[in-house]
Structure 1
Amino acid sequence: MALKRTNVYADDEDLDLIKEAAKRLGVSEAELIREGIHRIALARRVWDEPFVTDEETFDLGGPITRDDARDAMDGAFGSGESRGREHAA
């Protein structure tokens, strides 16, 4: 991938965080900034076509309730008492 030079303005606090992270991870500050730019570019990308078309969707059987989720968790991990179930809202 060819790199192109550009200038950006950033808060001192953000630059300090980048400097600390780069040192901790053993990479350059520029590498972290490039990674951040790439992540934002991907997150804001607009696709020409939908990821899933109407023909590709399917019915999962209706809305999933809180009790459905608890039953699934109990089935997978056992009783909810050890997970603090009595405190669930």
Structure 2
Amino acid sequence: MGLKKTTVMVDESDLELIKQVAAREGRSEAEIFREAFHLVAIRGRRWEEDWDIPVVDLGRPIGDEEVRRAVGDAIAGSEDRDQ
């Protein structure tokens, strides 16, 4: 898909931050702005059809503490594998 030139007004302090990020990352300001526009476009995307997301039924309610424990165990396990 081709690029289209546009003009936008931005807060001066935001522009200064963009300049800093671009310099730090070795990227152009335009590239940073394109990335920002793309992220907002994706965030705002809507789908007409329902998603086919499977429902997992464990046969009983799952509480907050059980979820926290399972996530903690999974994180601890991945840290063990990384070493």
TM-score range, shorter chain: 0.7 to 0.9
Tell me the equivalent position of 1:67.
Answer: 65
- RMSD of Structure 2 on Structure 1 (CA): 2.5
Unaligned runs of 5+ in 2: 77-83
Distance 1:71 1:38, change over 3 A: closer
- Compare CA radii of gyration and give the structure with the larger one: 1
Q: What percentage of residue pairs aligned between the two structures are identical?
A: 44
**Are 2:40 and 1:44 aligned?**
no
Number of aligned residues: 76
Question: Scaled by the length of structure 1, what TM-score is found?
Answer: 0.68
Tell me the equivalent position of 1:30.
Answer: 30
Cα deviation, residue 68, structure 1 = 1.1
Output the CA distance in 1 between the equivalents of 2:30 and 2:37: 10
Following TM superposition, where does structure 1 have runs of at least 4 consecutive aligned residues deviating by more than 6 angstroms? none
Question: Scaled by the length of structure 2, what TM-score is found?
Answer: 0.72
